[in-house]
């Protein structure tokens, strides 16, 4: 693994922009198949709070096929066999993973930086893999209308050129590659955002359901071992106005819908920098590919945090891309038709999951900033139909199309 590009011009078979789940998984799979691959990551490390850190059974199954599962599960994580919601003291099972046809019948909560460091370390043992951190892409190189590489700047600020047969944009929902390529995108919007904060766990804290509805059904609670990850839903675009109020007003609002006291929030959350905004968006590219270029993961389809499916959908994209593109890359060139096969394979699972998320976030005639007075329709259905949590567990835990890495 290298961190700095040493020469003004570099050559590789595949240049992946973005060292997130999709980028590192694709990089690992390609390098494992003997393809020269270079991954560019704009940050110095992977340490960022409140990134997607739900590892679903589908991803754990992929780790099993790669022979990495046992070692992977030695990393600190919390196992969740069921997703549950609590409202007014009543717990509802939203999704049940215990009957999935997978080796791991649970979802693992693991800090994303641990997951990414694990993948990066495994990839670094492969001679055809290179990871360059603190490296930002500034331009796409084109020859006769085909993308042939990127221009980038490393930590020293010097511009360097990377020539590649294929450039992959895996740089998230704010994708630079997507914007530089001007790929057409369809946006679906979202009525709400989420504020995240950490509350240190105390010895007297009881085990709680993974979600807590509260009186207004807009509080989120995730058990992260030594702390609680707390989230509260707010109206889209209302965060700047909230920042104009004293922090105590926000904490009082959160305490009113949470199982924790206002005093505890005030003791632990003392400044606005401890409150992180998640700007929820749902969108997808109409075309994931152009000659010499492919987008996957959030760069191709931004997901809502509902169900925590974004990371796992990105991993599935990476596996599908590797399965379909290893042979063309070995042969020396990848056609637009071959790149478009990745989108065709991943189109339905992406569309289906986004359709479900849009149905669950639809606000109807209710004002965006009005509290939710009743449980969502899905929760009511789950209470009446005990088989639905099993179906929801299958959809969330496995998605609509499983991808199995080819190891030949």
Q: Write out pLDDT tens, residues 300-316.
A: 999 988 778 889 999 99
Span 374-403, average pLDDT: 75
Weakest-pLDDT range from 141-145, 210-214, 328-332:
210-214
- CB of 20 within 8 A of CB of 170? yes
Whole-number Cα distances in Å, 328 to 146, 316, 322: 16, 19, 10
- Structurally, the chain folds into a number of domains equal to 2
Distance of CA 375 to the CA centre of its chain: 26
Span 7-16, average pLDDT: 92
Among 230, 262, 278, the domain boundary falls at: 278
Residue 201, domain extent: 192-278
Q: Model confidence over 141-176: pLDDT tens digits? A: 999 999 999 999 999 999 999 999 999 999 998 999
Share of the chain above pLDDT 90, in %: 62
89 — pLDDT class (breaks 50, 70, 90) = low
For position 374, what pLDDT does the model report?
Answer: 44
Rounded to 10 deg, the angle between the 310-331 and 57-65 helix axes is: 30
Span 382-396, average pLDDT: 80
For position 159, what pLDDT does the model report?
Answer: 93
pLDDT at 204 over 80: yes
On whether both 314 and 226 belong to a single domain, the answer is no
Q: Model confidence over 118-140: pLDDT tens digits? A: 999 999 999 999 999 999 999 99
- Beta strand 227-235 pairing with 219-223: antiparallel
Weakest-pLDDT range from 128-132, 234-238, 368-372:
368-372
pLDDT at 377 over 80: no
pLDDT at 37 over 90: yes
On whether both 226 and 202 belong to a single domain, the answer is yes
How far apart, in whole angstroms, are the C-alpha atoms of residue 357 and residue 366? Answer: 17
Among 278, 302, 324, the domain boundary falls at: 278
On whether both 120 and 71 belong to a single domain, the answer is yes
For position 366, what pLDDT does the model report?
Answer: 44
On whether both 242 and 144 belong to a single domain, the answer is no
On whether both 117 and 182 belong to a single domain, the answer is yes
Whole-number Cα distances in Å, 188 to 280, 284, 304: 11, 9, 11
On whether both 264 and 302 belong to a single domain, the answer is no
**Closest to 20 in 3D by CA, of 300, 308, 298:** 298
Q: What is the pTM of this model?
A: 0.87
Q: Return the residue matching tokens 């998605």.
A: 399
For position 45, what pLDDT does the model report?
Answer: 86
How far apart, in whole angstroms, are the C-alpha atoms of residue 380 and residue 141? Answer: 53
On whether both 322 and 368 belong to a single domain, the answer is yes
211 — pLDDT class (breaks 50, 70, 90) = low
On whether both 207 and 176 belong to a single domain, the answer is no
On whether both 234 and 321 belong to a single domain, the answer is no
Phi then psi for residue 266, to 5 deg, are -65, -30
Q: Return the residue matching tokens 């305490």.
A: 255
For position 102, what pLDDT does the model report?
Answer: 94
In a domain, 32, yes or no: yes
Weakest-pLDDT range from 95-99, 116-120, 232-236, 375-379:
375-379
Q: What is the mean pLDDT of the chain?
A: 87
For position 2, what pLDDT does the model report?
Answer: 57
């Amino acid at each position: 693994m290298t961190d700095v590009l040493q020469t003004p011009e570099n050559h590789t078979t595949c240049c992946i922009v973005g060292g997130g789940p999709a980028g590192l998984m694709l990089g690992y799979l390609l390098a494992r198949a003997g393809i020269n691959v270079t991954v560019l990551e704009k940050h110095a490390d992977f340490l960022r709070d409140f990134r997607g850190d739900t590892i679903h059974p589908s991803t754990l199954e992929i780790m099993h096929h790669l022979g990495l599962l046992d070692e992977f599960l030695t990393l600190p994580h919390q196992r969740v066999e069921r997703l549950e919601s609590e409202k007014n003291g009543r717990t509802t099972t939203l999704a049940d993973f215990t009957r999935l046809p997978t080796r791991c019948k649970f979802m693992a909560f693991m800090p994303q930086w641990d997951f990414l460091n694990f993948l990066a370390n495994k990839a670094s043992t492969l001679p055809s893999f290179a990871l360059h951190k603190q490296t930002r892409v500034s331009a796409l190189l084109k020859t006769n209308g085909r993308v042939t590489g990127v221009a980038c700047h490393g930590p020293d600020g010097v511009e360097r050129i990377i020539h590649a047969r294929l450039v992959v944009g895996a740089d998230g929902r704010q994708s630079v590659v997507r914007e530089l390529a001007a790929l057409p995108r369809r946006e679906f919007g979202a009525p709400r955002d989420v504020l995240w904060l950490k509350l240190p766990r105390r010895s007297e804290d009881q085990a709680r359901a993974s979600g807590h509805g509260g009186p207004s059904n807009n509080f989120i609670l995730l058990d992260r071992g030594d702390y609680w990850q707390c989230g509260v839903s707010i109206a889209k675009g209302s965060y700047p106005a909230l920042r104009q109020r004293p922090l105590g007003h926000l904490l009082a609002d959160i305490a009113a819908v949470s199982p924790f006291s206002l005093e505890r929030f005030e003791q632990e959350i003392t400044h606005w920098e401890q409150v992180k905004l998640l700007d929820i968006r749902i969108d997808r590219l109409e075309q994931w590919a152009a000659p010499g270029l492919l987008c996957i993961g959030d760069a191709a389809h931004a997901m809502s945090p509902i169900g925590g499916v974004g990371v796992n959908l990105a991993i599935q994209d990476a596996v599908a891309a590797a399965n379909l593109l290893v042979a063309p890359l070995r042969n020396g060139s990848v056609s637009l038709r071959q790149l478009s096969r990745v989108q065709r394979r991943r189109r339905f699972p992406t569309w289906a999951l986004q359709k479900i998320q849009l149905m669950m976030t639809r606000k109807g005639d209710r004002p965006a900033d009005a509290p939710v007075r009743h449980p969502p329709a899905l929760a009511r259905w789950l209470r009446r139909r005990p088989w639905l949590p099993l179906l929801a567990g299958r959809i969330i835990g496995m998605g609509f199309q499983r991808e199995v890495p080819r190891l030949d």
